[in-house]
Copies of this chain bind each other. A is one copy, B any other.
Amino acid sequence: MGEYRVAPLEMLIEQFEQFPSIGHKTASRLAYHVLSMSEEQAQGFSKAIINAHRNIHHCRICCNLTDTEICSVCGDESRDKSIICVVEDFRDVIALEKTREFNALYHVLNGVLSPLNGVTPDKLCIKELLARLGDDTVKEVIMATNATVEGEATAMYLSKLIKPLGIKVTRLAYGLPIGADLEYADEVTLSRAISGRSNI
């Protein structure tokens, strides 16, 4: 008994299965949706993929993702140029921008130090960061790497490079998230909240 197979559909399902947390069922559903698109929509989707992939690259200054030579943050004259916030990933920039609290510049490392995985300092955008600290514009560098072993190690490594330049190096505050129940907080967060307590 011959099986019912549609090769181009199967290939498309396989493509969707490559995406993170997309299993066979969801991949099939996404592929079926592509089949139900108009010719114009399918063309538009296909072009958006190529377009995003081809036109997005790293900002020449801060190594953030951008489709222009210099990203919109670095090109924004109204921002405070004396503070640089160092993050691991462009997604962190998006998260910080959502707060609408931070009106200075960023630097995206595009990874964290992880010698075991072959991520040595030369693999990250560190020399670009140091190049920005050459003139006396920058007064403070905020380390906003994640609170993981690698994130902390990267922050330590960078602070040892930057402090000798006479620039203040700070770290994001750690403690209880707003709205969290003390009861459910993990012990590491709680001990950081205790050691970092402030006067009221």
Q: Which of A31-51 contact B (CB under 8 A)?
A: 31-35, 37, 39, 41-51
Q: In the complex the two chains form, is A65's CB within 8 Å of B2's CB?
A: no
A103 and B4 alpha carbons, distance in the complex (Å):
11
A192 CB to closest chain B CB (Å) equals 27
Give chain A's interface secondary structure class: helix
A117 within 8 A of B: no
Q: A19-B30, A33-B20, A46-B46 are in contact. Are A52 and B4 (CB under 8 A)?
A: no
Q: Say yes or no for A162: interface residue by CB 8 A criterion.
A: no
Count of chain A residues with Cβ under 8 Å from any Cβ of B? Answer: 60
Contact of B49 with A45 in the complex, beta carbons under 8 Å: yes
Whether A71 is near chain B, meaning CB under 8 Å from some CB there, is yes
Given the complex, which residues of B lie within 8 Å of A53, measured CB to CB? Answer: 34-35, 37, 39, 42
| Chain B residues near A46 (CB-CB < 8 A) | 46-47, 49-50
Complex Cα distance, B16 from A19, in Å, reads: 12
Q: How far is the CB of A73 from chain B (nearest CB, A)?
A: 5
Task: Encode A53-67 as 1/0 by CB contact (under 8 A) with B.
Answer: 111100000001111
Tell whether A19 pairs with B43 under 8 Å between CB atoms, given A76-B2, A97-B4. Answer: no
Interface flag for A93 (CB, 8 Å): yes
17 pairs, CB–CB < 8 Å, chain A vs chain B: A2-B73, A2-B78, A2-B79, A4-B72, A4-B97, A8-B67, A9-B65, A11-B48, A14-B48, A18-B41, A22-B30, A34-B52, A35-B65, A37-B53, A45-B49, A46-B46, A46-B49
